[in-house]
Amino acid sequence: MRASVVIAAHNEGDLLWKTVRSTVETARGLDCEILVADDASTDGCVREARRRYAELRVVGFSRRRGCSAAKDLGARRARGRVIVFMDGHCKPEPYSIHQLISDVEALQGKAILTPTVPSLDVNRWRCSDRRVGHGYLMSLATFSARWIPLERMRRVGPFFEVPALVGCCLAMSKELYGKLRGFDRHMIEWGVEDVDMGIKAWLLGHAVLHDPSPIIGHRFISASTSFTVHAESVVANEIRTARKNFTEPVWNEWLRRAERRHSKTTWAAAWALYQGQSRSADEERRYLMSERVHDEAWYARRFGLRWPRGRG
C-alpha cells in the first residue's frame, strides 16, 4: 500500500467525522487507507465516524494514554509506505495529501514534510486565509515554540527547512519513522512529542522540510477544547525530550534551568512522572546517541538559537 493517513483522536465530537470526510474527499484515487488512532474517546466520536465511513480502520486504547502514544499506535499498525499524520480536527484541502505523499517519495523517504497550516474555523469548516502558519522556531531551553514567517526559513530547492516540527499534520516514510523510534509512547496526555520528533530527525541527519503548496487546516487549542492537560504532564514530557536528545553537560544545565522555571509543586509532580518511566527514556537515549550525526550545539547554530553553545 502506498500510504496511510493516521488520524489521532480523543473526544473530538463531530470534528472527527468531518476530518474523515475531508480526508476521503481529498484522497480519492490514492492507494491509501484512513486509520483513526483512538485515545480512549468516550463521546461517541469514533462510533459516529465509523457509521458514516465503513472503510475506516480504527485502533485504540481502552484507557487514555495520550496523544503521542495514540500516534505511535496508529503508525505501528499502518500498512502504507508513507504515513500522513493528522489530528482529529483537521481539514486537508484538495490535493494536499497527494502532494505530501509525493514529496516524501521524491525525497526517497529521508525527510519529514510539513504543509501550510491555517487556523480552521470549525463552525464553517473553512480554513482561514489570514491566520496561516508555515514553520516553528523553538527555544532549546524551554521547548516553547512560535511561528516564523516563510521568508525567515532557509530554502532548499522547492522546500524550506523547518527548525521545529509542527505535530498537527506531517508526513514521513514508515521506514524513517522506525529509524527515529517514532513518537514517544511513554509521553503523557499531550504535548512535546512533535518537538522531540523534530529534534531527533535533525540530529540523526534527516531534515524537517516545509512545502507551502499543500494546505491542511487545524483547530488550535482554546478554552472550549474537550480534554484536559495537566501542567506536570507537559513538564514531564519536556524532561524526557531533554534527557533523550542532549549530551550530559547540556542535560544537566537544562535541568537546572527547568527546575528554576517551575513551581516546586509542579516540578516535584513532573519529576515523579518522569522517574516512573526514566528507564525507557535512557534506553532510547542510548540508541539516539549512537545513531546521530549532529549534536545540539550544531542544531543551535544551524537555526540561530542562543543556547547551548559548543562544538558540534
CA-to-CA dists, residue 117 to 90, 157, 183, 224, 295, angstroms: 9, 20, 20, 20, 29
In 3-state terms the chain splits into helix, strand, coil percentages (rounded to 5) of 40, 25, 35
- Residues 61 and 69: beta-carbon distance below 8 Å: yes
Q: What is the pLDDT of residue 227?
A: 53
Cell 473530538, residue located: 12
Q: What is the pLDDT of residue 224?
A: 42
Q: What is the pLDDT of residue 129?
A: 87
The rounded average pLDDT for each run of 10 residues, N- to C-terminus, in the chain (312 residues) is 97 97 96 97 97 96 94 98 97 97 98 97 93 92 92 95 94 98 94 95 98 96 60 95 96 95 96 96 98 96 82 42
- Give the residue ranges of DSSP H helices in the chain: 14-26, 45-52, 67-77, 96-106, 174-179, 193-203, 231-245, 248-261, 264-276, 278-291, 296-302
CA-to-CA dists, residue 160 to 110, 132, 208, angstroms: 15, 16, 9
Burial 205-232 (b: 16+ CB within 10 A, else e): ebbbbbbbebbbbbbeeeeeeeeeeeeb
**Domains of the chain with bracketed CATH:** 3-218 (3.90.550.10), 231-302 (no CATH)
CA-to-CA dists, residue 24 to 28, 91, 103, 289, angstroms: 6, 11, 20, 40
**Is 82 in a helix, a strand, or coil?**
strand
Q: What is the pLDDT of residue 306?
A: 83
